[in-house]
Amino acid sequence: MSPDIPEVPETSVNASDTAAPMHAPRGPGKIVEEIPASPRRLYPHIEPFESGMLDVGNGHNIYWERCGNPRGKPAVFLHGGPGGGCSPDHRRLFDPSKYCITLFDQRGCGRSLPHASLDHNTTWDLVDDIEALRTKFGYAQWLVFGGSWGSTLALAYAQAHVSRVSELVVRGIFTVRREELHWYYQKGASWLFPDRWEKFLAPIPLEERGDLMRAYQKRLTHRDESVRIEAARAWSMWEGSTITLLPDDQLAEAFGDPHYAIAFARIENHYFVHDGFLKPNQLIGGAHALRDVPGVIVQGRYDMATPARTAWELHKAWPEADFYWAPDAGHAFSEPTILHWLIEATDRFALED
């Protein structure tokens, strides 16, 4: 852990949360592994009924939007990356007649400003931003939904503000532990994608490949824009080309867009060289705080970006949540079986107060 990492908050209920409703004790959740015969699909396209920018201090303004039913069940969607931003399809994971869905672009990415900024950009800044939005909209509780890095942020937020979370839905579980990072950015996944790994290695000289995240950090913060963009595209396209079970060239190319890639790669790398601004094993170790929160974990069996071992360890630490394996999927939320179980979860929780 680098010396410039701020002190990590304890993952306990804040005193200010005590007025929120508390959860009833829960028993063990179910474990399901099957391919649905008729997989659910995204809800139809919708547009926000309200959007704006929220000044969260230190020069950051985050874009937010609300979609669906203004009087519906509150939910917040936490996108991946960090640095990925929200897309219109993320709105479609919820029944718009039953949910009031808040989406926001995290610091430095998407429509938030300043673009690709690393200053005052940590996990705990983002947790504070989620709370600022909840307070802005006057919700006592809301359903929290996050995939990939969004699952990291959802777990961090829920453990810090457990009484503000009515339900928790997480997918493609990632907790930013050193072994998870090394699997994807140093060794491990490269054995399955040697051709794509060569493209990831290309910007880095041989003598710097012993610590690829640090080598990329040097280039992603370089004064020369062309150096930054070359590194950003290589970093971003590595992820875009490996997150689905079957190749999706269109997705990989989208990750290579320079404007998208520079925020995505810079912010991801910034978080990862700092171990997500988390204590070792913090999110798995703190999962006991979630034992009474209704929850769903969805995991692709063949996820190469966030391998299934982490999701299984979260299940062991939080057995009260329902666990859904997608036996024909990798990492992307758009893969049919993953998408099916996510929409099943949001539909089920829409019926709960």
Query: What's the rounded mean pLDDT across residues 237-264?
Result: 92
Which pLDDT value is given to residue 186?
Answer: 97
Which pLDDT value is given to residue 8?
Answer: 45
Each residue of 269-306: pLDDT tens digit? 999 999 999 999 999 999 999 999 999 999 999 999 99
Domains of the chain listed by start with CATH number = 31-176+278-350 (3.40.50.1820), 179-276 (no CATH)
What secondary structure, in 3-state letters, does the chain show? CCCCCCCCCCCCCCHHHCCCCCCCCCCCCCEEECCCCCCCCCCCCCCCCEEEEEEEECCEEEEEEEEECCCCEEEEEECCCCCCCCCHHHHHHCCCCCEEEEEECCCCCCCCECCCCCCCCCHHHHHHHHHHHHHHHCCCCEEEEEECHHHHHHHHHHHHCHHHEEEEEEECCCCCCHHHHHHHHCCCHHHCCHHHHHHHHCCCCHHHCCCHHHHHHHHHCCCCHHHHHHHHHHHHHHHHCCCCCCCCHHHHHHHCCHHHHHHHHHHHHHHHHCHHHCCCCHHHHCHHHHCCCCEEEEEECCCCCCCHHHHHHHHHHCCCCEEEEECCCCCCCCCHHHHHHHHHHHHHHHCCC
Active site residues: 148, 303, 331
pLDDT band at 249 (very low <50, low <70, confident <90, very high): confident
